[in-house]
Amino acid sequence: MDKLLEKIQSLISPICEKHKVSLYSIEYKDKKLTILIDSKEGIDLDKCVEVSGDVSSKLDEVDLIKEEYTLEVASAGVERPLVSLDQFKSSIDQYILVHTSKLYEGYDELVGYLRKVSDTFISLEIKIKTRKLVIDIYLEDIIDSFTTVNI
């Protein structure tokens, strides 16, 4: 994360705490600042508007971004990428999809419930035919991963 995003994160983290949401990610690209928020209870439009208003006021006050830009505060959504260790940790007990560079139980695409996160691996509870098992997947083997919906 670059210095600008780190400063923005330190400014808006207290705002997120005040609104009882977690800061999922921040991105600044093409004069657009996108802030994704999340909550175990879910995020509705009213919550996005409340957080956006407070964030906008704070950013205007400190004037970190000198050029004209657009601010977007949105829900991280149901299906979202898991990139950082913190994102994995906040997704424990959620249903996720993982693509791996190595085979685990004969598969390089696994879906299941995230049960544990450590500094080197995640534990995923999967179902193969009629048996449930928990497998450890090394973080270095993960190509990408997403929260998803279990249908």
pLDDT 10s digits, 63-111: 989 899 999 999 988 888 998 998 999 899 999 999 999 999 999 999 9
pLDDT at 149 over 90: no
User: Looking at the domain assignment, is residue 63 inside a domain?
Assistant: yes
Q: Is residue 129 part of a domain?
A: yes
Domain contains 80: no
Range of the domain at 50: 3-75
Kind of pairing, strands 70-75 and 32-38? parallel
CA angle (93 as vertex; 9, 14 as ends), nearest 5: 20
pLDDT at 17: 96
Q: What is the pLDDT of residue 1?
A: 57
Token pair of 22 as six digits: 């977690």
Average pLDDT, the chain: 93
Do both 71 and 101 map to the same domain?
Answer: no
Taking the model in full, what pTM does it have?
0.75
pLDDT value of position 40: 81
Number of domains, the chain: 2
Residues 71, 77, 78: CA angle, nearest 5 degrees = 175
Q: What is the pLDDT of residue 137?
A: 97
